[in-house]
Amino acid sequence: MKNKNVNRRDFIRLSATAGAGALLVPNTAAATATATVQSANRETAFEIPVRTLGKTGLQIPILSMGVMRADNPNIVRAAYSSGITHFDTAHGYQNGKNEEMLGNFFKDKPRDSFTIATKGKLDYPLKDTFEKDYTELLELSLKRLQMDFVEIFYTHALERVEEVTDKRIVDLLLKFKADGKIKNIGLSTHANKPELIDAAIETGIYDVILVSYNFKLNNLKEMEEAIDRGVKAGIGFVAMKTMTGGAEDAEGKNRINGKACLKWAWKNENITMAIPGFTNFDLLDDCMAAAKSPQLTAEDKEYLAMLCGKELLYCQQCGKCTDECAEHLPIPDLMRAYMYAYGYKNASLSKETLQSLTLADDACKKCEKCKVSCISGFNVSEKIAAITPVRNIPDVFLT
Ligand code: SF4
Ligand code: SF4
Per-residue pLDDT for 108 more than 50? Answer: yes
Choice between 192 and 167, residue whose per-residue pLDDT is larger: 167
What is the pLDDT at residue 143?
98
What is the pLDDT at residue 360?
82
3-state secondary structure the chain: CCCCCCCHHHHHHHHCCCCHHHCCCCCHHHHHCCEEEECCCCEEEECCCEEECHHHCCEEECECEECCCCCCHHHHHHHHHCCCCEEECCCCHHHHHHHHHHHHHHCCCCHHHCEEEEEECCCCCCCCCHHHHHHHHHHHHHHHHCCCCEEEEEEEEECCHHHHHCHHHHHHHHHHHHCCCEEEEEEEECCCHHHHHHHHHHHCCCCEEEEECCCCCCCHHHHHHHHHHHHHCCCEEEEECCCCCCECCCCCCCECCHHHHHHHHHCCCCEEEECCCCCCHHHHHHHHHHHHCCCCCHHHHHHHHHHHCCCCCCCCCCCHHHHHCCCCCCHHHHHHHHHHHHCCCCHHHHHHHHHCCCCCCCHHHHCCCCCCCCCCCCCHHHHHHHHHHHHHCCHHHCC
Q: Is 329 in the pocket of ligand 2 (CB under 6 A)?
A: yes
Mean pLDDT of 179-197: 96
Per-residue pLDDT for 9 more than 90? Answer: no
Mean pLDDT of 32-37: 39
User: What is the band of 13 on the pLDDT scale with cuts at 50, 70, 90?
Assistant: very low
User: What is the band of 36 on the pLDDT scale with cuts at 50, 70, 90?
Assistant: very low
Ligand 2, atom 7: closest residue by C-alpha: 364
What is the pLDDT at residue 260?
98
Mutate to test the pocket of ligand 1, among 372, 375, 379, 384 (most ligand atoms within 8 A of CB): 375
Measured in Å, residue 392 CA sits from the centre of ligand 2 at 21
Choice between 359 and 45, residue whose per-residue pLDDT is larger: 359
What is the pLDDT at residue 83?
93
What is the pLDDT at residue 192?
87
What is the pLDDT at residue 399?
66
Rounded Cα gap, residues 255 and 272, in angstroms: 25
What is the pLDDT at residue 246?
94
Mean pLDDT of 71-84: 95
Q: Is 12 in the pocket of ligand 2 (CB under 6 A)?
A: no
Q: Would you call 387 exposed, middle or buried from its count of C-beta atoms within 10 A (0-12, 13-18, 19+)?
A: buried
User: What is the band of 175 on the pLDDT scale with cuts at 50, 70, 90?
Assistant: very high
Ligand showing the shortest atom-to-Cα distance for residue 322: 1
Considering only CA atoms, which of 276, 295, 296 is closest in space to residue 287?
276
Ligand 2 atom nearest to CA at 367? 6
What is the pLDDT at residue 29?
35
What is the pLDDT at residue 254?
95
Mean pLDDT of 288-317: 95
Global pTM reads: 0.89
What is the pLDDT at residue 142?
98
Q: Is 381 in the pocket of ligand 2 (CB under 6 A)?
A: yes
User: What is the band of 17 on the pLDDT scale with cuts at 50, 70, 90?
Assistant: very low
Ligand 1, atom 4: closest residue by C-alpha: 321
What is 8-307's CATH number?
Answer: 3.20.20.100
Measured in Å, residue 375 CA sits from the centre of ligand 2 at 15
Measured in Å, residue 341 CA sits from the centre of ligand 2 at 21
User: What is the band of 46 on the pLDDT scale with cuts at 50, 70, 90?
Assistant: low
Per-residue pLDDT for 24 more than 60? Answer: no
> pLDDT of 218-237, one tens digit each?
999 999 999 999 999 999 99
User: What is the band of 367 on the pLDDT scale with cuts at 50, 70, 90?
Assistant: very high
Any idea where the domains of the chain sit in the sequence?
8-307, 320-397
